[in-house]
Copies of this chain bind each other. A is one copy, B any other.
Amino acid sequence: MANPTAAMLVIGDEILSGRTRDTNTHHLAGELTRHGIRLMEVRVVADDQPAIIAALDALRSRWDHVFTSGGIGPTHDDITADAVAAAFGVAIGVRDDARALLAAHYERSGLEFNTARQRMARIPDGAALIDNPISIAPGFTIGNVHVMAGVPTVFEAMVASVLPTLTGGAPLLSQSLQVNRGEGEVAEPFGALAAEFPDLSMGSYPFIRNGAHGTNLVIRGTDGAQVDAAMQRLVALFGRPQ
């Protein structure tokens, strides 16, 4: 059976302006690969409702899962929950279970559960909450869309809450070989090897270190025996790493 597919939608002006470096995509990519879900596409859009809705609709209709990060806090620029509700054509309002979680948290913390903080209990109708053990304000899943916070520690905790609930596929295996040759020297035999193993994906990633060119050759697939066999051929072609 083919592996389930996914897309990531990062929401936030601060990523596009270069102020903040997005680290959530890289984290999610690694976790999905381990879980046997293929990340097929990533988009980053601004804090702009039409842009969020257009990207959500394109991604959720195409891939099995969509993960979003950002825009679910208490401030005026946090518009993700409303955009998701609009994309699904459902109402959104403060939900009792989310409100109760937050009220208890702020009571324990001795902080006022003010109107802004109550905004974080606004959940689109029909969604299921995603647990947030770090700062309590929940994410949510509606349809095939998983809506999570942008703060990396919270995003990562929410991914850990959601992933075990999703059906994965065969783990995506990879092996790599680092060679002290430029990509241009390995290209022909590597391409020929890739053509012999059509079920595997082979990629080459050049680097420059201390002025010398090298290449990482990566073999990916779900059939461990095939990945092993291809790697043996690769080592025979280019030698073990020195």
Which A residues have a C-beta under 8 Å from some C-beta of B? 10, 12-23, 25-26, 28-33, 38-47, 51, 73-77, 111-112, 114-117, 119-120, 134-135, 150-151, 153, 172, 174, 176, 182-188, 190-191, 194-195, 201-208, 213, 218, 220
Contact = CB atoms under 8 A, between A and B. Distances in A.
Taking the full assembly, how many copies of this chain does it contain?
A: 2
Nearest to A27: B18
A190 B76 contact: yes
Contacts of A183: 73-75, 116
User: Counting chain B CB atoms within 10 Å of each CB, which of A28, A38, A116 scores highest?
Assistant: A116
A22 B40 CA distance: 15
Given A33-B17, A39-B17, A134-B208, A182 B111 contact: yes
Nearest to A205: B14
A201 to B, nearest CB: 6
